[in-house]
Structure 1
């Protein structure tokens, strides 16, 4: 994983685990395979991470650290160069997330929950600062927002076919579908409130809060 810019043994092992877990799934990858890809011995993998589960936990924590960002050096998502650098850095992470959520393990569920918590705090901050709209259900908005962002990972094969791209996880493909997603989130899809009004009426008739 991209813990830092150097290539220490620990960093190489983390990078190898992130990439192999993302391409093949945690259950199909052995410590020996990770060690071979990192160019170290299996014993050194165990020395640094204890076990394959320890490696998975380290990968999860790395993913969460990217979601949270560095409070001392935050990435300005409105800055093109900063956004491009972040997307390049996150390509192995996108593959890892896609595989993790398809595996549907308890660890993946915990990871999803933590991403939702972090995203809710971020969107709440946006509402307070004026760059995100207020909402009556902050929890639901955060969960749906995260699901929206992760949907291309879960439907990667189908989106690749429909969009005509060989690798949905590549930075170029991500920029393409994310641009469309952001346009929909920023400007909306519908031009009036007829669907929202009908939905609210249906909910009110059922007594749904």
Structure 2
């Protein structure tokens, strides 16, 4: 049985890896660097995770757990929402780096997030707080892509918003609030764009 100290060390190592992998990518970070950041020996990192790849998989699992464990009730609790956004900063940095490295692990991580999001939106449709969709799979994938786009385009969006750190709390609140506003209220004031898209689709189907 692991001791409490062991469990604490494991979480400390994982959190250090999240920060370093998010900043420099897994390929640019050594086990020794993670150990130094966590204040433990390299041997303890290997004891808990087996290898750097094992540590990477643990980081991926933590990201999925954070997403899976998001509580819808937190949206009605200002302090809870603030704490969630603050705590998720290392996760956002890690995701930004992971999703552009082109690895099989990154692809699997994205796919799992889409699956979780699809189930969440389906539940929302049944409960009445999400609109139904003609293509739930595409909606889930595009929803995830849209929310993650600011992380992947970090340097460009930071420049456009004139902020130094896109993952800082003030910048996060600014851009994520606009995303939520667009998803809640929409952008277009009438259906002309949707009508045009549907007309093109109908024309192609009639050929």
TM interval, short-chain normalised: over 0.9
Kept in 2, the 8 Å contact 1:75–1:83? The answer is no
What SS does structure 1 have at the residue aligned with 2:190? coil
Q: What pairs up with 1:80-99 in 2 under 5 angstroms?
A: 80-99=78-97
Q: For the residues of structure 2 that align with 1:27 and 1:75, how far apart are their CA atoms?
A: 38
User: 154, 157, 160: which is aligned to 2:155?
Assistant: 157
Deviation of 1:87 (Å): 0.5
TM-score scaled to structure 1, two decimals?
0.93
User: Structure 1 stretches of 5 or more lacking a match?
Assistant: none
- TM-score using structure 2 length: 0.93
Superposed displacement of residue 79, structure 1: 2.4
Name stretches of at least 5 consecutive residues in structure 2 with no aligned partner: none
1:38 aligns with 2:45: no
Q: Deviations over 1:127-147 (max 9, x none)?
A: 000000011111010000000
CA RMSD of aligned residues (A): 1.7
CA distance in 2, matches of 1:106, 1:151: 19
Task: Note the 1:123-138 alignment, pairs <5 A.
Answer: 123-138=121-136
User: 1:171 Cα deviation (Å)?
Assistant: 1.6
CA deviation vs aligned residue, 1:34-89 (integer Å, no higher than 9, x gap): 0111111111100010000000000000000011116xx76522322211110011
The structure where helix makes up a greater share of residues is: 2
1:2-41 to 2 correspondence within 5 Å?
A: 8-41=8-41
